[in-house]
Amino acid sequence: MLKGIPQILSPELLKVLCEMGHSDRLIIADGNFPAESMGKKAVVIRCDGHGVPEILEAILKVFPLDSYVEHPVNLMEVMPGDPVKTPIWDTYKDIVSKYDERGEKAVGNIERFTFYDQAREVYLIIATSEKALYANIMLQKGVITD
């Protein structure tokens, strides 16, 4: 056990987060995301039984967001005409605002298929059991300056 580390972060996940360098990206994926097929070049860690918000909150306690890009956090855009509502995005913005002084301005959107293209290049994909649709979130790592 380590002091101050959220228990939801497994030793394997902590190791991979630590291995990541500045500008490396990760995805916390919802339950519908094709984590294994998208993650052929990435580390894929399963966090079954957990939702994206609780994983996001825990990660942001130990993971600096990139201050050199406008949007170090990106969401998968809803396809035009898809009648899906995304209230979970407000939850994400609230969580990000606790850990990044830019608040919700740190959060951007990426068109769905572009998001998939970028997903094939991330360092880490965390597969969750999140049931909300369009609940995938991509984070870009920054540096610790303290």
Q: Which of 24, 90, 116, 146 is catalytic?
A: 116
Concerning whether 71 is annotated as a catalytic residue, the answer is: no
Can you tell me the distance from the alpha carbon of 134 to that of 131, in angstroms, rounded to the nearest whole number? Answer: 9
Q: Which of 66, 99, 100, 134 is catalytic?
A: 66
Q: Which of 22, 82, 90, 117 is catalytic?
A: 22
pLDDT in tens, 34-44: 999 999 999 99
Does residue 146 carry a pLDDT above 80?
no
Q: Rounded mean pLDDT of 98-117?
A: 97
What is the pLDDT of the chain when averaged over all its residues?
96
Q: Rounded mean pLDDT of 112-141?
A: 98
Q: How many CB atoms sit inside 10 A of residue 4's CB?
A: 6
Percent of the chain with pLDDT over 90: 95
Concerning whether 116 is annotated as a catalytic residue, the answer is: yes
pLDDT in tens, 61-91: 999 999 999 999 999 999 999 999 999 999 9
Concerning whether 22 is annotated as a catalytic residue, the answer is: yes
Q: Rounded mean pLDDT of 21-47?
A: 97
One-letter amino acid identity for 138? M
Q: Identify whether the C-beta of residue 141 lies closer than 8 Å to the C-beta of residue 66.
A: yes
Transcribe 72-104 into DSSP letters.
SEEEEPPPTT-----THHHHHHHHHHHH-TTGG
